Amino acid sequence: MEITKRTAASPIGEVTLYRLVNDKGASVELSSLGAGITEVSVPDANGNIENVTLRYADPASYLADGPCAGKTPGRYANRIANGKLQIDGITYDLPINNGPNHLHGGPEGFQNQIWESEEIENGVIFRYHSKDGEMGYPGNLDAEVKYTWNDDNELTISLSATSDAKTVVNLTNHAYFNLEGADGANPLSVLKHELKINAPYYLAGDEEGIPTGEMAPVAATPMDFTSFKTLEESPRKDFTPLKDRKGYDHCFCIDGPNGELREACVLRSPKTRRRVTVVTDQPGVQIYTGNWLAGSPANMAGRSYEDYEGVAMEAQGFPDAPSRAAFPSQTVAPDAPYRRTIVYRFDTF
The residues annotated with a catalytic role in the active site are 174, 314
For 143, the enclosing helix (H) or strand (E) is: strand 141-149
Q: How many whole angstroms separate alpha carbon 283 and alpha carbon 316?
A: 6
Find the Cα–Cα–Cα–Cα dihedral 229, 188, 171, 18, rounded to 10°: 130
Q: Are 191 and 231 a contacting pair, CB within 8 Å?
A: yes
For 243, the enclosing helix (H) or strand (E) is: helix 240-245
Q: Coil, strand or helix: which one is 348?
A: strand
Residue 54's Cα: distance from chain center in Å? 12
Alpha-carbon distances, residue 70 vs 30, 170, 176 (angstroms): 9, 16, 7
Contacts made by residues 209-213, CB under 8 angstroms, sequence distance 24+ = 209/78, 209/79, 209/98, 209/101, 209/245, 209/249, 209/250, 209/319, 210/79, 210/81, 210/101, 210/319, 210/320, 211/251, 211/318, 211/319, 211/320, 211/324, 211/327, 213/324, 213/326, 213/327
Q: How many whole angstroms separate alpha carbon 283 and alpha carbon 259?
A: 7
Q: Coil, strand or helix: which one is 56?
A: coil
> Is the backbone peptide bond immediately before 79 cis, with ω within 30 degrees of 0?
no
Q: Coil, strand or helix: which one is 236?
A: helix
Nearest to 103 by CA among 208, 203, 15: 208
Q: Cite the DSSP H helix spans in 32-107.
A: none
